[in-house]
Amino acid sequence: MPPVIIPVAARTGYAVRLAPGDRIDVVNSEGAQVVDTWAFALGEPYEYLSMEHSRVAHYRLAFEPGDLLYTQRWRPILRFMEDRSPGVHDTLCPACCAASYVLFDGYEGYHANCTDNLQRVLAAEGRALPATPTPWNLFMHTVVEQDRVMKDYPSEARPGDYVSLRAEMNCLFAVSACPQDIIPINGVDARPRGIELRHTSGGY
């Protein structure tokens, strides 16, 4: 079955239901774009892909192809299958939100953000979250340096780079093309770009 191509516009989010064995590719169409990524168990009010649990499952700060990723109830929800990118993906940073643009970036007023993008696409699915889980920030070049200091660099993802994932349970997979345009995480020009999802039913 050919993949369903789902364009996701710059600064927006999208959610798609996956069944076990489905393949989902997150494609950095233009390069340099950070993609906040979540997954939620279907049929459960609030069971989600947990960065904390998935890090401890492998006792690493980052995931590698082949790794199973877990919910906060220690159930496998996704498997990281393939990485066609420079391979740097953040697991530590919370999703940006209206308040973070004010606090960290000095922005005045309302700035588009990944938290609201997620809430919007989940509301369309009839779901409301009590809190926003820490996303897996695909292509985000935030690293831990000497003395455990964290540092942001512009994403080094190239046009067409992608990460490929396999669903391990029935889940709602959600992404936000991060609207950050103040600090340069979305490339050196700090310009938010669109992305693409490629969904293949039973692709793995």
Q: What is the largest CA-CA distance in the chain?
A: 49
- Residue whose CB is less far from Zn ion, 26 or 178: 178
Among 22-30, 60-68, 113-121, 183-191, the segment contacting Zn ion (CB under 5 A): 113-121
Structure tokens at 70: 């877990």
Question: Rule CB under 5 A: is residue 121 a binding residue for Zn ion?
Answer: no
What's the closest the beta carbon of residue 204 comes to Zn ion, in angstroms?
28
Residue 8 near Zn ion by CB under 5 A? no
Q: Extract the tokens encoding 120.
A: 């919007």
Q: Give min distance, CB of 135 to Zn ion, in A.
A: 8
What phi and psi, each to the nearest 5 degrees, are found at residue 34? Answer: -80, 135
| 175 sits near Zn ion (criterion: CB under 5 A) | no
Residues contacting Zn ion: total by CB under 5 A: 3
- What is the pattern of x (binds Zn ion, CB under 5 A) and - over residues 93-112? ---x----------------
167 binds Zn ion (CB under 5 A): no
Minimum Å gap between C-beta 113 and Zn ion is 6
* Pairing outcome for strands 141-144 and 136-138: unpaired
Among 172, 174, 178, 185, binds Zn ion (CB under 5 A): 178
CA distance linking residue 46 with residue 172, whole number of Å: 11
The reply to whether 174 sits near Zn ion by the rule CB under 5 A is no
Structure tokens at 38: 């979540």
Measured between its terminal Cα atoms, the distance across the chain in Å is: 11
13-72 residues near Zn ion, rule: CB under 5 A: none
Are 25 and 198 in contact, with CB atoms under 8 Å apart?
yes
Q: Is the Cβ–Cβ distance between 198 and 30 less than 8 Å?
A: no
Q: Contact positions toward Zn ion, by CB under 5 A?
A: 96, 114, 178
